Structure 1
Amino acid sequence: MTKHTSFHLLSAAVALQCGLASSVTLAAGVPGLLEETLVVGKQLKLDGKATSASVGTVTQEQLTYRPLLRPAEVLETVPGMVVTQHSGDGKANQYFLRGFNLDHGTDFASYVEGMPVNMVTHGHGQGYADLNFLIPELVQSIVYKKGPYYASEGDFSSAGSARTRYVKSLADTQVKLTVGEHQYQRALITSGVSLGEGNLVVGAEMLRNNGPWDLDEDMKKNNSMLKYSQGDLNSGFSVTAMAYENQWTSSDQIPERAVKQGEVDRLGYLTPYDGGDSKRYSLSSEVWSDLGEGYRYRASAYVVDYELELTSNVTYFVNDPVNGDEFTQFDDRTIWGGEFVFDGAINETTAYQLGASLRYDDIHQVAVGASQRGHLTDLWVSDGVEETAVGVFASVNQEWTPWLRTELGVRYDYFSFDVESDLYLENSGSDSEGKASPKLSIRLGPWADTEFFINYGKGIHSNDARGVVATMDPINPGETLDSVDPIAQSTGYELGLRTGILPGAQISMALFQLDLDSELVFVGDEGTTEPRGATRRRGLEIGIYYELNDWLIVDADAALSRARFRNEQYDDAGSAIGRHVPDSIERVYSIGLTASFDSGIHAGLRGRHFGARDLNESGSITSDSTTTVNANLFYQWGDGWIAGLEVLNLLDSKDDDITYYFESLTASELAANMSPVEDYHFHPVEPRTFRVTLGKTF
């Protein structure tokens, strides 16, 4: 599909939504997310409509003065979520939640303005979710749901989902300039004006950063957003356009032995040509309407034009002692789709929801090949892919008594794959599959400001289309590949409670289990499939939100989990190696203090700890734990000026953002005729960093 065609698809999406919008009467309502009316921040309203203890809404107020190293860290407002990075800041983050190393997003679904962020059949990894285009200052709310218990949530949502929405209006214009160490420079302008019968919001961001690394990151990010809205909470429409471009150089994870031997320091590098170039342009629109008598609908449409080029060298000289193991991955696609949701009421105690979604990925090229100094030398995999996903869902919410409510739902997801290999006819082909996912939620209470939940549900994640249809190993032509199921299914169970029994405090608890039928996925880094066995994850999560007084709030979360393969795992020689799931997270603790005074002073202190992780199947190799503390202090004058100081990694922790254990061979070891060495490979937490912000509101 050409860029010219993409433009026409964008125009068609706007035309479709504007047509729908013109047919509704503007009156008042939110575009369809029930939890927005139930949970404000982590404060609870026990009105009997929530279906789980693991849902919530993060509000704009919670994010305004929250210290953030990277945009995607807004997701750390989801209790138990950890957001890290093992490479340059233009690459999608690493996410951890509920015993998962979610890699770059598999099994956690992210949406922004109704558009799915996770990428299917991606050049770097299935479910790749790059949130670097997010502008935190424009976020109105983040609605999160953990677990596969919700009929409205489809692909990649077994561990959970988050839906982020931008503001519909701004009363003022704000200009902010932030500067920091390592040539960090960020300029942001946001503005809102009345236009016709609606409101126009505009945001533009420019960011430059070299980072603390010995190799300058040379990050150049340009980002903009424009949103026009009409109507109110019941009926209206919105159209949102976004444009994002980013270039960067990466300092990837490095072997621990290279640091111990003095070859590099903790912030050093072994490969100077890692980096990337990413572009994302999108147009989306939504229309919603309250039809009266308990009926309402929400419809959305979107088009996304996306490109990525990513160069990495993970193992240095293991596979190619002459030219090195550097490789470059490519992704060039257009995505379009939409969703329709209808809510209705049968009577005063029975409500239902019906919905359907469509997503079509026209992947012009998804490829990977050997490269030198960032220039491609040998193409291993190059495919064109057309992938269609259709989802339909229904749920019925029944209030049997004032203390007993149930929600019964089902979702059916259907995927169609068509792969055309540019290199190997054997790896071209088509396939399709559909799966039904039943859901059940039971709510008991409230009694004494406390309610209990029992949840059950099945979820899915789709697998890479290339792995589904390919029959020959592209890295080793002539060798056959094991088949990959198009859909991997999960089964989740949860017992939960939410309570406001303590004055000024709200507490939530959830005890969960999540079974995956298979973790057999396509490995984009190698262009092959990697079989993984069925797994089981169990855990406990506790969250507390406590208003100590009218100026100080404390929030704290604890998440404990355990992940194991259901059966013994074996190495290539057939020897048993254990049942631990490598890189799975077992302990996450966080605590935050937020102070806000009428004098204009705002301050925050946030601590995060995630524990050691098993790095191999036997559990004999583990990572260290990581603890960081961030702080900020802002003062806002009455005439609109604001000044602030952020201190990231306040205690200057020398812990690691992420740790892996695998085999590599450095240039010095190659020169010494050594064999590849298994070792820890880590990406350090960025050292203590100061950033100063000056802003003006007009």
Structure 2
Amino acid sequence: MKKNSCFIPFLFFVCCITSEAAFCQIKVSGRIMDAGTMQPLEYAAIADLGCNGAITSSDQSGNFTLFLKNINDSLAVSLVGYKTQHVHTGSHGNITIELEHAVLNLKDIVVLQSNSVTKFSTLSKIDLDLKPVRNTQELLRLVPGLFVAQHAGGGKAEQIFLRGFDCDHGTDVQVSVDGLPVNMVSHAHGQGYADAHFIIPETINNIDFGTGPYYADHGNLNTAGYVAFRTFNNIANSRVEVEAGRFNTYQALAMLDLIKKNKSKQSAYIASEVNYTNGPTINPQHFKRFNIFGKYNLAINDRTQFTASVSSFASGWDASGQVPGRAVANGLIDRFGSIDPSEGGQTQRHNASLLLIHHFTNGAYWQNQLFYSRYLFDLYSDFTFYLNDPVKGDEINQGERRNLAGYQTKLNHQYQLGKFSLKSTYGAGVRYDATQDSKLTHVVKRVFLSNIQLGNIKETNGFAFTQQQFSEGKWLLDAGLRADYFHFCYFNKLSHLQQPGQSKMILSPKLNIQYTATAAFQLYVKTGKGFHSNDTRVVVANSGKEILPAAYGTDLGVIIKPNKKLLLNIAAWYLKLNQEFVYVGDDGNIEPAGKTLRKGVDVIARYQLANNIFANVNINFTKPRALGLSKETSYIPLAPTATSTGGLYYKAGKGFNGSISYRYIKNRSANEDNSIIAKGYFLGDASINYTKPSYEIGLAVENMLNSKWNEAQFATTSRLQNENTAATELNFTPGTPFFARLKLAVFF
């Protein structure tokens, strides 16, 4: 707590200044909407064209508040992909502004002073528009610097890499959709397991993301960063889409607009998706997935909005697993073969969310959300083959049934204190996870042999936070404080022992400062403390030691718009973790990895070459190291050191559209002493579409150069059936070769 002591008095002072003062300022509130769909528009820039020169942005409900010196001032409202509109406020205290679609143009991007802790959310919406995605892997890859790998036949949550972290399946990156948490704490397969396959990509309207632990409204698992997906409130039209590709790959999608009139009052749509593929492996994956999602919006009155959403998802698959390099080298199996083809699994998730937002007459708004998930998981894996059991083999089964419920509330208000503008946010909530029969068992060909671990988990996380954002002239100070309380309980069904529950609380201060010299130049520094919780089974087994390892980080960055067509964000950063200490579900053991330090540089660039031609590039360099070890043994396994993504995109309203994109990851260490190397890769993808108002035909190609690459890689000790001794080497899942797919979509 000593590291936090310098923050606490300042934050206490900041959080107590909340009384409103009227210094001859005129408050104008309003809402920004899409003129066609009446979809609320987030991150629209609202600028005062009068002498005050104030500027702000709309929130996720499209609402904004701006303080003017003259009620007759005009406002300029702009958002990428929409026509800029000038509005005369007159005597109206509350206005609705409807923006019409226009050709994408980077000149509409404004470096906002008020947008201190959200990086490039508007640009992620552009990327979504320029490069439509077909699955959650492609959705996640839209986040600059984020890489994913799939190594279990398509049904398992992706392995995530971000800012020098091998986040496993989500240990160090927080993922959510419409406020619903995706990560599963104390999961049977790994802490923070983030299976986002219940998301239908075509329903995603925007991706909010941030790197580092600098955001008061994001708590557990937000160390490397967070990703928050947001779905459309309503859709412009209905669509039916079919797709077919190599490896017996098929997909069908339907999105139906259920209420076509008066969408500002109420709207509803339903989306459903069916997927099937055998994959490129010799043993067919028989992967199948079904998704359904529905959303309903109701304006109860002019100030109160109600939203309800439900979704359901189920999938099943077979997997060829991770391939030992020596088995391929000696000809025992093909690169796309398998040692144990009985791997695979099935999973289900069913979600419900209720959201109520009320806007007060003073410009404040209050948001309340209830959510619930029912989750089932069953996974068969074999990593070591005949290392532990030379007769029956080492195949394991991990599984659980889970109920997840929660409530969260947030109050936002904006004040004018003389020359200072103050935005205050207060939030609180609770999340409760209860699992039944969280298990790790020994199996052979999916047939039960014996239990290794079996028990029930109850984990509660209560939290509260405040964020105070002061701005005056070109300066903005954003201070936050978050408190999280955890309670862990575990009942061991093998020993019939209810182990003593453990509790812990952690405070996470945040402080972000920025200087916006012009609408084209901004400097910022972000500092903060974050954490990831450990698995309940680890917590109770270790009597509460190292429950909430903290992470301390700093970013120093600049956002530059040297001309109307180019936007750059460059940031240097470091992040220190007190303990990379997680539950390893594959063998039931505890592996504390000690303290770590990561340093890096991120570069994000967007450029518009012509009216319809865009380019982007993201470059990330990181030096990840374990602390307290010799230089030769301080490598962090699988931690990326250099990555890059980018592409060229041609986007027209009608007719032909297309893109060419790439992703690159450098060779990196697969173990602590750098004696085993995980191989890097460079992949190119391309797509072309012909779009008309009533239909679209498209062709997409992945790995267009047919590169030979490894998707997931691990340094693993294993023994094959015909071997007398074990070997430690690189095991891998082969990456997909050249893959083409055709699409036909009909709009109505």
TM-score normalised over the length of structure 1: 0.89
Amino acid at match of 1:557: N
Relative distance call for 1:31 and 1:380 in structure 2 (3 A) is farther
Q: Which residue of 2 aligns with 1:77?
A: 142
Q: Deviations over 1:208-229 (max 9, x none)?
A: 1101111100011111001001
Relative distance call for 1:297 and 1:55 in structure 2 (3 A) is farther
Q: Which residue of 2 aligns with 1:441?
A: 512
| In the alignment, structure 1 residue 686 sits paired with structure 2 residue 741 | no
Question: How do residues 100-139 of structure 1 correspond to structure 2 at under 5 angstroms?
Answer: 100-139=165-204
Q: Which residue of 2 aligns with 1:257?
A: 326
1:31, 1:298 within 8 Å by CA — same for their partners in 2?
A: no
Relative distance call for 1:146 and 1:284 in structure 2 (3 A) is same
Q: Which residue of 2 aligns with 1:355?
A: 427
Amino acid at match of 1:423: L
1:31, 1:233 within 8 Å by CA — same for their partners in 2?
A: no
1:551, 1:597 within 8 Å by CA — same for their partners in 2?
A: yes
Relative distance call for 1:60 and 1:542 in structure 2 (3 A) is closer
SS of structure 2 residue aligned to 1:511: strand
Relative distance call for 1:686 and 1:218 in structure 2 (3 A) is same
Relative distance call for 1:345 and 1:67 in structure 2 (3 A) is closer
Return the offset for 1:427: 7.1
Q: Which residue of 2 aligns with 1:274?
A: 343
Q: Which residue of 2 aligns with 1:602?
A: 657
2:383, 2:716 within 8 Å by CA — same for their partners in 1?
A: no
Q: Which residue of 2 aligns with 1:621?
A: 676
Return the offset for 1:63: 2.4
- Distance in 2 of aligned mates of 1:229 and 1:600: 33
Q: Deviations over 1:596-637 (max 9, x none)?
A: 234411101110001111111122322221111111111013
Return the offset for 1:55: 5.1
Question: How do residues 187-206 of structure 1 correspond to structure 2 at under 5 angstroms?
Answer: 187-194=252-259, 197-206=265-274
TM-score normalised over the length of structure 2: 0.84
| In the alignment, structure 1 residue 656 sits paired with structure 2 residue 706 | no
1:395, 1:410 within 8 Å by CA — same for their partners in 2?
A: yes
Question: How do residues 324-339 of structure 1 correspond to structure 2 at under 5 angstroms?
Answer: 324-339=393-408
1:53, 1:509 within 8 Å by CA — same for their partners in 2?
A: no
SS of structure 2 residue aligned to 1:265: coil
Amino acid at match of 1:527: G
2:491, 2:497 within 8 Å by CA — same for their partners in 1?
A: no
Return the offset for 1:27: 8.8
Return the offset for 1:364: 1.6
- Distance in 2 of aligned mates of 1:52 and 1:65: 24
Question: How do residues 23-62 of structure 1 correspond to structure 2 at under 5 angstroms?
Answer: 28=31, 44-52=109-117, 54=119, 56-57=121-122, 62=127
SS of structure 1 residue aligned to 2:669: coil
- Distance in 2 of aligned mates of 1:394 and 1:631: 45
1:600, 1:636 within 8 Å by CA — same for their partners in 2?
A: yes
Amino acid at match of 1:255: P
Instruction: Give the counterpart of 1:409 among 472, 476, 480.
Output: 480
1:54, 1:510 within 8 Å by CA — same for their partners in 2?
A: no
Return the offset for 1:483: 6.5
2:327, 2:333 within 8 Å by CA — same for their partners in 1?
A: yes
Return the offset for 1:535: 0.3
Instruction: Give the counterpart of 2:315 among 222, 246, 253.
Output: 246
Q: Which residue of 2 aligns with 1:214?
A: 282
SS of structure 2 residue aligned to 1:62: helix
Q: Deviations over 1:166-204 (max 9, x none)?
A: 111123211100011111111100011218941111001
Structure 1 segments unaligned to the other structure (5+ residues):
1-25, 472-481, 570-575
- Distance in 1 of aligned mates of 2:149 and 2:668: 14
SS of structure 1 residue aligned to 2:327: helix
Q: Deviations over 1:73-114 (max 9, x none)?
A: 212111111011122101000110000001101110000121
Relative distance call for 1:266 and 1:523 in structure 2 (3 A) is same
Amino acid at match of 1:239: A
2:210, 2:225 within 8 Å by CA — same for their partners in 1?
A: yes
Return the offset for 1:47: 2.5
Return the offset for 1:426: 5.9
Return the offset for 1:429: 2.5
Amino acid at match of 2:450: D
SS of structure 2 residue aligned to 1:509: strand
| In the alignment, structure 1 residue 386 sits paired with structure 2 residue 386 | no
- Distance in 2 of aligned mates of 1:254 and 1:617: 21
| In the alignment, structure 1 residue 551 sits paired with structure 2 residue 612 | yes
Relative distance call for 1:543 and 1:132 in structure 2 (3 A) is same
- Distance in 2 of aligned mates of 1:233 and 1:431: 46
Q: Which residue of 1 aligns with 2:698?
A: 644
Relative distance call for 1:358 and 1:40 in structure 2 (3 A) is farther
Relative distance call for 1:636 and 1:40 in structure 2 (3 A) is closer
| In the alignment, structure 1 residue 461 sits paired with structure 2 residue 532 | yes
Amino acid at match of 2:174: A
Return the offset for 1:293: 2.2
- Distance in 2 of aligned mates of 1:527 and 1:228: 43
Question: How do residues 493-512 of structure 1 correspond to structure 2 at under 5 angstroms?
Answer: 493-512=554-573
Q: Which residue of 1 aligns with 2:209?
A: 144
Q: Deviations over 1:355-379 (max 9, x none)?
A: 0121000112211110111122101
- Distance in 1 of aligned mates of 2:352 and 2:230: 14
Return the offset for 1:418: 1.1
Return the offset for 1:58: 5.2
2:461, 2:484 within 8 Å by CA — same for their partners in 1?
A: yes
Relative distance call for 1:427 and 1:668 in structure 2 (3 A) is farther
Higher mean alpha-carbon deviation, 499-508 vs 532-541, is at 499-508
SS of structure 2 residue aligned to 1:567: coil
Question: How do residues 579-598 of structure 1 correspond to structure 2 at under 5 angstroms?
Answer: 579-598=634-653
SS of structure 2 residue aligned to 1:397: strand
RMSD: 2.3
Return the offset for 1:283: 0.4
SS of structure 2 residue aligned to 1:257: helix
Instruction: Give the counterpart of 2:224 among 159, 174, 181.
Output: 159
Instruction: Give the counterpart of 1:518 among 564, 570, 579.
Output: 579
* Identity fraction in percent: 28
2:349, 2:374 within 8 Å by CA — same for their partners in 1?
A: yes
SS of structure 2 residue aligned to 1:87: coil
1:429, 1:470 within 8 Å by CA — same for their partners in 2?
A: no
- Distance in 1 of aligned mates of 2:414 and 2:707: 54
Amino acid at match of 1:364: Q
Q: Deviations over 1:414-463 (max 9, x none)?
A: 11011111012567231010100000000012247200001110001110
Relative distance call for 1:598 and 1:294 in structure 2 (3 A) is closer
Q: Which residue of 1 aligns with 2:239?
A: 174
SS of structure 2 residue aligned to 1:686: coil
Relative distance call for 1:245 and 1:598 in structure 2 (3 A) is closer
Relative distance call for 1:68 and 1:676 in structure 2 (3 A) is farther
- Distance in 1 of aligned mates of 2:133 and 2:317: 19
- Distance in 2 of aligned mates of 1:223 and 1:290: 33
